[in-house]
Amino acid sequence: MSRSIEIHNHPFRFLLYLEWILLSFAALSAVVPSPFQRSSARFTELTICTLIIFGLMGLRLPQSNNFIKIIYTAIELFLILLTGSFGGITYRIFPFLYLVLVTRSCLIFQMPGRLTITSLSFIFFVLTLRRRFDRLPLTPAVQERFLFFSFNFAIMFGLALVFVLLLMNTVLSERKSREELAMANQKLRQYALQIESQAALEERNRIAREIHDSLGHSLTALNLQLETALKLWHSQPDKAHTFLARAKELGSKALQDVRHSVSTMRSQPLQDQTLEQAIAGLVENMQRTIGIFPICKIDLSFPVSSEIKNPVYRIVQESFTNICKHAQATEVKLELVTTNTNLHLEIQDNGKGFDLEQNTTGFGLKSMRDRTLALGGTISIKSAPNSGCQIIVDIPLVNR
């Protein structure tokens, strides 16, 4: 906090009110004549002026510069000493001005400075008390009793200074904690807005992936069936009719996928199937679509959670869709095995392949990468023109 503490931004305004009440009593005691000549103020105007200046200084506490803080505190000490020296009966109240000084120091300084001001206040108080004791012409017996009283008073006053210091430290620590908590809550609200925005973006991406993976797969297969039917329509109408029937079946499935995506966005694509059964369905679809039966090696000896099953299914589905749509392959191999630590998936075809540097924006490949990275896994895609494609995915199973 670099801005000065003033009355409009004072953290504990009730302290100002208490200061003014105490200073008012001190000024009143300096004005009211005392029945004891020795207790009367010798310089009433000076005492009142000193108390007014001391009170006005509390309306603006420095915060920015350490040198200004030290000068400010030194002036306060000087004013208290003046009050104690020339205030007459006011000296009975002046020790409590040290309490005000310690309170203000807690608002100005850090802990080392607060301890220094508290120690100086006690030392100056004891010195002033000793100076008064030396001035009084007392008998030895009275002197001993007065010394005992002064000692007890000094101890009590020292404890009062320590109490005020500890109390202010506690109050300031609590206030700082509240401010930090308020700032943390503000940051949390900002983070919540950012997370909400990020969640909305991720949800849109998820919806795009689901539509691409489910509906896109069915429509790709449907398009291939219709293209084949068109080619065979004149030469082999019976065979073309078979492809049209398959296209109608795929169209119905695509419509079903759309309806299901609208209601649940296909968050559980496997439903009641095991991963092996779901992949077997993809293998069958590929065989019916392009006439290739993939060579599969599936060994799920260790259990796989649904958190991993669904993304793995989507990766296999996306890979098969790309093979059917682009690869023109004659052989496809799939290997899916689990160990006690990870899941290993490998899909390879002997198709025409592609240049990885020129195909970095494909949504299907990005979808596979996103799904793998979200599970803490790694994915490797190897391909080159006329050299087929190999996709290797490793996903850890530990702590899942």
pTM, whole model, 2 decimals? 0.46
| Chain mean position to CA 324 | 46
The pLDDT assigned to 197 comes to: 73
Q: What is the C-alpha to C-alpha distance for residues 303 and 313, in angstroms, rounded to an integer? A: 15
The pLDDT assigned to 40 comes to: 47
10-residue stretch averages of pLDDT, the chain, 400 residues long: 68 81 77 52 74 86 86 89 66 73 89 91 83 63 72 87 90 87 85 70 69 72 83 83 83 72 56 85 85 91 86 89 86 93 94 78 75 90 90 84
**Sequence-ordered list of residues with C-beta below 8 angstroms from that of 120, at least 6 positions apart, any chain:** 77
The pLDDT assigned to 345 comes to: 96
Count of all residues that appear for the chain in the document: 400
Q: What is the C-alpha to C-alpha distance for residues 86 and 42, in angstroms, rounded to an integer? A: 6
The pLDDT assigned to 354 comes to: 86
The pLDDT assigned to 216 comes to: 72
First vs last C-alpha separation in the chain: 47
> Of 140, 173, 189, which residue constitutes the final position of a domain?
189
Question: Across-strand partners of 227?
Answer: none
The pLDDT assigned to 294 comes to: 92
Q: In this structure, are 282 and 391 located in the same domain?
A: yes
Q: In this structure, are 141 and 51 located in the same domain?
A: yes
Q: In this structure, are 278 and 141 located in the same domain?
A: no
Cβ distance 353 to 293 under 8 Å? no
The pLDDT assigned to 400 comes to: 52
In a domain, 176, yes or no: yes
Q: In this structure, are 39 and 180 located in the same domain?
A: yes
The pLDDT assigned to 94 comes to: 63
3-state secondary structure of 345: strand
In a domain, 100, yes or no: yes
Domain that residue 319 falls in: 271-400
Q: In this structure, are 23 and 163 located in the same domain?
A: yes
Tokens of 151: 């000692």
In a domain, 258, yes or no: no
Q: What is the C-alpha to C-alpha distance for residues 144 and 111, in angstroms, rounded to an integer? A: 38
Beta strands in the chain (DSSP E): 5-6, 60-61, 295-299, 332-338, 342-349, 378-383, 389-396
Q: What is the C-alpha to C-alpha distance for residues 310 and 167, in angstroms, rounded to an integer? A: 60
How many structural domains comprise the chain?
2
The pLDDT assigned to 36 comes to: 45
Q: What is the C-alpha to C-alpha distance for residues 90 and 219, in angstroms, rounded to an integer? A: 97
**Sequence-ordered list of residues with C-beta below 8 angstroms from that of 52, at least 6 positions apart, any chain:** 23, 27
